[in-house]
Amino acid sequence: MRGNSKIRNKRDIQTTKKELTIEKVLIYVIIMSVITLIFSLIFHKPTTKNDIPPMQENAITEAEEDVPIEVILHKEFKNIDGQSTYIAFNKNAKDEEKFPMVIYSHGSTYTVSENKNNPLTKDLDYYADIFVKEGYIFAASNQHGDNWGENVAIEDTKKLVEVLKSHYQASDEIYLLGFSMGGLVTMNYAEKYPENVKKIALLAPTSYTKTWNSRRVERIREIPTRIWHGNKDVNVPYSMTTELIRKLGSLGKEIELITVEGAGHFDIDTEYTDAIVEFYKSH
């Protein structure tokens, strides 16, 4: 019995030692945890916006800038020095944004006016819907009606450009678009004021080949020009365009011709808007 008691006492002593060892370990862990927490509270520096690494901050800014802004198309008529003008732009643009201009010159028998029954307004609305969504300001002046490319119409166009730049967030970049008789105004404006004219698009254009000489051609020689013309046009003959291209080509000016097989005069207008946008945006 006495021997068994000694054994039990020995076991109890060993158990007590183990419990004391475990308690010491736990107390040590708790003490170290408390010390670590105190140090972290004392020496911790709260993170501020200035602590964001430059590259990360730039990435956040760029991500914010990449968020697309909805285009809100606004169309209005404005009288500029006695001439009615049609102007379409993105009303939701940021104040600091600038947009290139597309200046449209209309054909004969057409006028730019607020008359709801005006057949040209439907075409202008169609152009505006596409060009504004593509990042342009779209505008057209009445240009004194049937002007046949005279100087008064050229000056109307110049005044329109100036108003767009001063009041409508237009950049310096000008893209010209002329239909039928409007081809005369378009080419004459480009020759007189070639600065900032980036590209010229002509649709079944009227042209006076004899008025072009080496001096005039040199002023537009570097401006990319493309013509769409139907080879069945009885209003403005297709041969008028081929003769213009031949004449200007002999004077060093290249013009690209898109021949529309079987198309008449009024088949070449709004039908090629997407192709014109592609031409304007091409490099």
Say how far apart CA 178 and CA 201 lie, in whole Å: 7
Give the three-state DSSP class for 180.
coil
Q: What pLDDT shows up at residue 43?
A: 61
Tell me the β-bridge partners of 89: 74
Question: Nearest CA to 268 among 235, 220, 223?
Answer: 235
DSSP-derived secondary structure letter, 52: S
The C-alpha angle with vertex 281 and arms to 254 and 256, in degrees rounded to 5, equals 20
Say how far apart CA 240 and CA 205 lie, in whole Å: 8
Q: Which helix (H) or strand (E) holds 98?
A: none
Q: What pLDDT shows up at residue 192?
A: 98
Say how far apart CA 213 and CA 217 lie, in whole Å: 6
Q: With bands split at pLDDT 50, 70 and 90, how would you rate the model's confidence at 134? A: very high
- 36 compared with 66, residue with greater pLDDT: 36
Q: With bands split at pLDDT 50, 70 and 90, how would you rate the model's confidence at 283? A: confident
Tell me the β-bridge partners of 99: 170
- Beta carbons within 10 angstroms of residue 149's beta carbon: 23
Highest averaged pLDDT of the listed ranges 55-64, 65-74, 227-236? 227-236
Query: Which residues make Cβ contacts (< 8 Å) with residue 260, sequence separation at least 6?
Result: 228, 229, 230, 231, 267, 268
- Does the pLDDT of residue 13 top 50, yes or no? no
List the domain boundaries for the chain: 2-65, 73-281
Q: What pLDDT shows up at residue 96?
A: 93
Q: What pLDDT shows up at residue 117?
A: 85
Q: What CATH number does domain 73-281 carry, 3.30.70.20, 2.50.20.10, 3.40.50.1820, 1.10.1200.10?
A: 3.40.50.1820
- Does the pLDDT of residue 59 top 70, yes or no? no
Contact 276, 240 (CB under 8 A): no
Tell me the β-bridge partners of 107: none
Structural tokens at position 187: 């080419």
Query: Which residues make Cβ contacts (< 8 Å) with residue 168, sequence separation at least 6?
Result: 87, 89, 137
Structural tokens at position 113: 């006016």
- Does the pLDDT of residue 22 top 60, yes or no? yes
